[in-house]
Amino acid sequence: MRIATWNINSITARLPRLLAWLESSGTDVVCLQELKCSAEAFPAEALRELGYEAAVHGTGRWNGVAVLSRVGLSEVVTGLPGGPTFDGLQEPRAVAATCGGVRVWSVYVPNGREVGHPHFAYKLAWLEALRKAAEPGAAGALPFAVLGDYNVAPTDDDVWDISLFDGATHVTAAEREALSALRELGLADVVPRPLKYDRPFTYWDYRELGFPKNKGMRIDLVYGNAPFTAAVRDSYVDREERKGKGASDHAPVIVDLDV
């Protein structure tokens, strides 16, 4: 089974690329983030023509998540159980489904904006709710993974120049401790391998030639339980999909499983 996570940065803008990528990549399950599309406007029919069912959670604003599957889709949960609100709203940042015997969550962790901003406190509260939702037994004995845009770089090597991030979000001790809490549950960070590039970044800003200069970050992550990680046969960043006109600023992260 081939599973991927991809912050698509508007499914409407990226739909032709998504459809072409699905046909060429052989991906069975895709966790999407930043749909910028409501559930009602989601292009379900175009995806159905390629054999994919979709579980969608979106309101049409800048967030929104989905799980696409061509190996079955059941036990869908929309929204993060016990998740916090921001400005009085519980944003559409999580959706779960069981696909071909594997349980997946597609998550779009809040950005945090600035350290000290209310959105930063919201981000930490959201990550704590995610930890509770991912506690052992959440998926029974199934292979289980939380895939998505975490908006956290796990280590200093996961950004192109840590000296430029002093006092910034994405690299603070509090955010990284939230990732450590997931690992303490028994979830492992499935790092893309083999490392074809110096560092397996997944996001590059559109500005200042971020991608050509490889000024990137590894913030799109896959955290899996023991049955999931034991089944991993390969994982990599599809940098080709970050190239060319109309690309998202994130690249898909792909994991191949023997299940």
pTM: 0.96
The overall average pLDDT reported for the chain is 95
pLDDT tier at 196, thresholds 50, 70, 90: low
**Is residue 78 within 8 Å of 95, Cβ to Cβ?**
yes
- Domain formed by 2-257, architecture: 4-Layer Sandwich (3.60)
Residue 209 has pLDDT above 80, yes or no: yes
Write down the domain spans for the chain. 2-257
Interval 21-69: pLDDT, tens: 999 999 999 999 999 999 999 999 999 999 999 999 999 888 999 999 9
Q: How confident is the model over 233-258, as a mean pLDDT?
A: 96
Sign of CA dihedral 14, 255, 201, 244: negative
Residue 73 has pLDDT above 80, yes or no: yes
Q: How confident is the model over 180-188, as a mean pLDDT?
A: 96
Q: Which of 196, 28, 9 is nearest to 108 (CA)?
A: 9
Sign of CA dihedral 218, 223, 226, 230: negative
Q: What is the pLDDT of residue 217?
A: 97
Q: How confident is the model over 157-179, as a mean pLDDT?
A: 96
Q: What is the pLDDT of residue 194?
A: 64
Q: By mean pLDDT, which of 114-118, 134-138, 162-166, 212-216 is the weakest?
A: 134-138
Residue 184 has pLDDT above 70, yes or no: yes
Q: What is the pLDDT of residue 136?
A: 83
How many other C-beta atoms can be found within 10 angstroms of the C-beta atom of residue 221?
Answer: 27
Q: What is the pLDDT of residue 165?
A: 95
The percentage of the chain sitting over the pLDDT mark of 70, rounded to a whole number, equals: 98
